[in-house]
Structure 1
Amino acid sequence: MRRIAQRLAITTLPLTLLAASLSHASEISLPNTMAWTAYGTNSSGYAQAVALGNMLQSEYGTSVRVLPGDNDVSRMTPLKQGRVDLCACGISSYYGVEGVMMFAHEDWGPQPLRVITTSTASFGLSLAVAGDLEVKTPADLKGKRIAYIRGDDALNKGTEAYLAFGGLTWDDVERVDYPGYSRSFDGIIAGNVDASFTTTVTPPAQQLASSPRGISWPELDPNDTEGWERMKTVAPYFRPHEVTSGAGNVSSDNPVSSASYPYPIIVANSDIEDDVAYGLIKAMQDNYDQYKDSAPGAVGYALEYQDLQWVIPFHDAVVDYYKDIGVWTDKMQLHQEELVERQLLLLETWESFVSSAPSDEEDFKKAWMSVRANALTEAGFDPIFQ
């Protein structure tokens, strides 16, 4: 066990004392105006952000302006520059914390993000497979034609994770490149490719389900320990999830054992004021019934759906809130401390690296990924991304 565990074992106080020493006033204190970024206006993430903003306006007089962004850059740049308070982001927020993919660039680097809250709803994130194939599990994808979306690291990483669950890699399938996500589903319908990564409720998945090929979703046995270990080695943000909403007659009466991760992931920079972070999470939990039916997927903000040992650290004031309501445990505290230590190490490593980094973009990325992996390994962390 690393030194952080040893420190925690020595210094951890009973949770009741921690809550008493760190608890905030019961009053919710929020600014008069806030600005958030979110996915595009036709997305469930945008609709949820608007629903949350309406609740804050109604209950606390806080006016929330939601700025839609069609890609990761347009959503995360305003947060990086301090022009917005929050981002209702996707899994790119995790890549930002890790400083990988689009963030392994001199204009970005590791981002000091902290989670306020997340939504995990009834849908899943999976490979949509043509229904005319005998694909029951990811292992059945061997030899099949799998879509690779150029320029979309998140989707391709999801595909790679599903292949890993089945003990496969890209070398075990036929990779078919597409310039965009929607085009890959056109390709499945046309018979040119067999599977593409998506959410189970997305319109392209519904279109595939209505086509002559139909649709199927690979089953992930929640008890397949080795399969889940392989999947999390590639993408540690996935969790087992019983999917009850999806194309192809997926419902509560016909669920699919699959995987998911939160969407949206509402993050702020680590230096957002404690009162604001605490006020937000308390307001969202205290007024859950007011907004839970106001947007698709908004039910996922319930306390029971919060993964308190996920892959991005919570804001310190959010941790205080969970302590105050009595759900925070010593195990969660250890996990939080480890995530914070990892984040600080990445930020320090980046600061040292950029002072003498190569000027060429490709050389820069290659050198950073090597330095990053070495620093994490030496500190006892898994680099995950190589």
Structure 2
Amino acid sequence: MSPLLLFGGAVAILAVVLLMIAVPPRLIRGVAVSFTVVAASFGLANIAPDSVRPPVAMAAIGVLVLALVRSRAVASGGVRFWAVASWWAYISLGVLLTGSYGTNRIVLYFGLATLAAYVASSLGRDELRMVYAAIAVLAAIQVGLAFVEILVLPVPIWGYSGGIRYNPFTNDAFARAQSTFGHPILFAVYVGIALIVAWSNPARWSQKWRLVNLTVATVGLGLSGTRSAVAAVAVGVLVHVALNRSLTSWLRSVVVVGAVVVVLLNIDIGIGTIVANLLDSGSWTHRLGALESVRALLGRPPLEAWFGNGFGSEAILYDRGLMQQTFLRAVDNMLVYALGTLGIVGVIALLGFWVVAFCFADRTIKAVLAMLFAMFFSFDLFTWMNAGVITSLMIALPRADRPAPGVVPNAGTALALRA
């Protein structure tokens, strides 16, 4: 690492510490969680250099710990936090027993994800609004970087993972954008989360601000060229609509969704061509290979079939011919990845964790969970550090449809919460 880069990193860390000290205690957890989202998106991509990723993870851990100390917050974490913590604890135990993953990552990845979820679970109402605003602003910054990447930079900021990928939404005229996430699918997942947050509007933004966020996130999805993410976001939005208890709001949402569908079907944006290309593409064949691997994975010796060889052991599966992917040594299916590396018990743990988190979440997070679960069938989400950290803290966020502890809403607030 160059001396200039070291000096810049030291100055940045000092600036963050000074900022955290200056932030009022009542807002410091929100600032810390927002910083973690930013840090994960910019510096925790798997393909980021080793000179970047560990220092960024340690800085995020330090900021979160400082926030807990200064806020003097003592939170139980809630059911969703304990679901997140149990998932990472189970994975960590397997890694310690099998040595399948670098032990330093237990702290820098699993530990950070758990700590971020804990701090996120203790946020107050104003802090929660701050985090949602940070998600939206960061999405706009990332979309701006995506344009720079496509139009100016010879290669993405962290380079390519698995080679260049062309955007099917532009007839392969441009590469798929990945911004600082290290992969187009991860970029799409993040802007997909931002789109669902804008759609569900848990922070009660004005309609103008909400429309801007929806537009930015939609553009980001297009730049990512990720067809599976578009379908997954649609699933998330439909889940959010279906869970609306207010008949008037439900009908209004159905009309909006229906109008969008009608417009898309009546203008020539090449939907049929995109679907046909998807079915004929190597991407589709590659993902079918993951499903075709299930029989062989279940046919392993009983101990291995039930418990796997530990998180991060997929290379062993490929070496033994148990995985049937055709193009890359990547599983690209989170459920199959869990089956292969963590065994049948691992799949049960993942599904149990997801169901518990879904049942205790508000409509916004339920929609996000639905979107992410749909992405499980096309991407091994938790193998990427940035995705795991952001997903963990999103799952643990307090419900936006309930008042903060000790606050009794007035009649107008109560009506707004039910809307």
How does the TM-score come out when normalised to structure 2?
Answer: 0.22
Greater helix fraction, Structure 1 or Structure 2: 2
